[in-house]
Structure 1
Amino acid sequence: MTLEPEHADRQRGELADALRRLRRAAGLTGASLASRTGMSQAKVSKIENNRVRPSVVDVERILTALGVPARGEDGSRLLELARVANSDYQGFRTALQRGLGELQRDLAAVESSAATIRFFLPCMITGLLQTPEYARQTLAHPLVNRGAEWQSALARRLERQQVLYRTGKRFVFVLTEAALRWPLCPPAIMALQVDRIASLSELSGVEIAVVPSDSLVPSGPLNGFTLYDDRLVTVEVFTGELALRDPREVSYSREIFDFFHEHALTGESMRSFLEEIARGFRSDAKYDIS
């Protein structure tokens, strides 16, 4: 199966049709199925008419109520469709076709709608924490033309940072030392970037945590991700971005996040650590002849 949007949309429709056919084959009304699953009749109707995206758990409950074995051919196929239905993938080239400015607008919308956002950053510093110089470098790409659209995307990324100052919102950033030290920019700029992170950690709604490289952590960070409340996790890869909505995927991502958070420095210990890294970059800047 593929997670490209047009295929995922078709598979969601296939899932809705299959669940409706199974209910009718079992001789049940929508109300009867709703009673057996503990769902509302309205939700069952919306699932069968492809107006609500069912979670994997929802599909499991429906299959159980209909007496369809989850490990049988039909059950396995429908559960796989449900997993796809709760996953979206947007390739980098598709994002470029829409425009980088539109991508920044999309990110701003989902950030605005979430009360708590958790970032796990093992390799890079995310947009909400970036200085303008660091942000310019992250947007540099062979496929991106540095014209008016590029300038617009940069401006919108920096505008997104205003969300950090809104009351009633909470942001938790867990970074590895490697992410802070990755030499994306010259040392003097990296020093300012680390200073920026230390400054933002003083905001009431922002928590910064750093996993030092000399700390014993009995698991490796395979990839970064962002958690929006307990409803969505996004994973960025070189070729695009994957969005996962299934509650189990979100819950497992939260467990991973909490694991690395437990091994991270926070508060004054974290700020002292950042100061040490910034001093190192400034020392390197004295000898930088690039």
Structure 2
Amino acid sequence: MTLDPEQLGQSKADLAETLRTLRRRAGLSGVRLANRCNMSQSKISKIETGKTVPTLVDVERILRALEAPAGLVAEVSALARIANTEWQDFRSMRRKGLEKKQNELADMEQSSTELRFFLPTMITSLLSTPEYIRATLADVPGDHSKAISRKLERQAILYDTSKRFTFLLTEQAARWPLLPAPAMGVQVDHLVSISRLPSIRIGIIPLAGRIPVMPLNIFTLYDHRIATVETSTGVMVFKDSRDIDTYMEEFSRYEHYALWGDAARGRLEEWAQLFR
């Protein structure tokens, strides 16, 4: 038995319906399938009704219990990956209001304990001066006042000592001249000051020596729950543990090439002086 991936669709509801259909075709009740998968019957029910989005591991366990052929496993696993991924395009965000996205980010930050930011091209708003934040929105049409205010309000989370923030910036991100030189000097000085907070680690990857890996995107990790990846047109939100593991591993690789603590602060102070 095979299914056309195009017929499966790309929604969470499609995944739920597909798994329910496969169970019925196999002649199993929800209770029997739950026993085979070592899951609770209530979890199987929530998966099949779309109330719970299963991880790829969950889907593989269910498909093994159904003795699904390899081709079908690949098709349904692809659908599960799509169901665990969300696309947020910047145009839609702008139509809804940029401050609404800031509220969403604030909620994610509040609900997380350990946050990791990989910043190969620019400084995140959590570490930005008001001038830098305004400059990042300069090409976006409309009134930015609410979004700027909300970005600045979010920075209060950095003083919460129950959380841990790790910011990993490349030299390009720290030195890209988004502002006039004096203002960039202030921005880089701000990084030095923020790095002294007890909840903050700031690492700097200098453009020197050999780094045999190449960064592609800005990404953020919220505990081991969510990974968000920014592109030029929007944000991908990954919730499957395997995708998150991939970004965790990438973050760890880049950490080894970074300067930390006083070494990082010393390098930032040199760059700030060059701007001045």
Pairwise same-fold verdict (TM > 0.5): yes
How large is the RMSD of aligned CA atoms in angstroms? 1.4
Q: How far did residue 139 of structure 1 move?
A: 1.3
> Are 1:13 and 2:13 an aligned pair?
yes
Query: Which of 102, 124, 127 pairs up with 1:126?
Result: 124
**Separation of aligned partners in 1, 2:79 and 2:124:** 32
* Amino acid across the alignment from 1:131: T
1:215-254 paired onto structure 2 within 5 Å? 215-254=209-248
**Separation of aligned partners in 1, 2:35 and 2:269:** 59
What secondary structure does 1:270 align onto?
helix
**Separation of aligned partners in 2, 1:215 and 1:29:** 61
Q: How far did residue 217 of structure 1 move?
A: 1.2
Q: How far did residue 12 of structure 1 move?
A: 1.1
Q: How far did residue 231 of structure 1 move?
A: 1.0
**Separation of aligned partners in 2, 1:215 and 1:193:** 26
What residue ranges of structure 1 are gaps of 5+ in the alignment? 283-290
**Contact 1:104–1:157, Cα closer than 8 Å, also in 2:** yes
Q: How far did residue 77 of structure 1 move?
A: 2.1
Q: How far did residue 53 of structure 1 move?
A: 0.8
**Separation of aligned partners in 2, 1:104 and 1:66:** 43
Q: How far did residue 201 of structure 1 move?
A: 0.6
What residue ranges of structure 2 are gaps of 5+ in the alignment? none
**Separation of aligned partners in 2, 1:275 and 1:134:** 18
**Separation of aligned partners in 2, 1:235 and 1:37:** 32
What secondary structure does 2:178 align onto?
coil
**Separation of aligned partners in 2, 1:125 and 1:171:** 14
* Amino acid across the alignment from 1:144: P
1:52-91 paired onto structure 2 within 5 Å? 52-69=52-69, 71-72=70-71, 74-91=72-89
Query: Which of 143, 157, 179 pairs up with 1:163?
Result: 157
Query: Which of 158, 175, 194 pairs up with 2:188?
Result: 194
**Separation of aligned partners in 2, 1:80 and 1:26:** 21
Question: What's the counterpart of residue 37 of structure 2?
Answer: 37
1:148-173 CA deviation, whole Å, 9 max, x = no partner?
xx101000000000000112101000
Question: What's the counterpart of residue 47 of structure 1?
Answer: 47
User: TM-score, normalized by length of structure 2?
Assistant: 0.95
**Contact 1:23–1:33, Cα closer than 8 Å, also in 2:** yes
> Are 1:183 and 2:177 an aligned pair?
yes
Q: How far did residue 38 of structure 1 move?
A: 1.9
1:247-266 paired onto structure 2 within 5 Å? 247-266=241-260
What secondary structure does 1:114 align onto?
coil
**Separation of aligned partners in 2, 1:231 and 1:32:** 30
Question: What's the counterpart of residue 147 of structure 2?
Answer: 153
**Separation of aligned partners in 2, 1:102 and 1:231:** 21
**Separation of aligned partners in 2, 1:39 and 1:202:** 46
What secondary structure does 1:168 align onto?
coil
**Contact 1:59–1:79, Cα closer than 8 Å, also in 2:** yes
* Amino acid across the alignment from 2:91: R
**Separation of aligned partners in 2, 1:218 and 1:35:** 47
**Separation of aligned partners in 2, 1:241 and 1:144:** 19
What secondary structure does 2:88 align onto?
strand
What secondary structure does 2:165 align onto?
strand
Question: What's the counterpart of residue 285 of structure 1?
Answer: none
Q: Quick one: percent identity of the two aligned structures?
A: 47
**Separation of aligned partners in 1, 2:66 and 2:201:** 46
**Separation of aligned partners in 2, 1:66 and 1:257:** 37
1:61-107 CA deviation, whole Å, 9 max, x = no partner?
111110002x31x3222111101101000111100111011111111
**Contact 1:215–1:263, Cα closer than 8 Å, also in 2:** no
**Separation of aligned partners in 2, 1:281 and 1:33:** 64
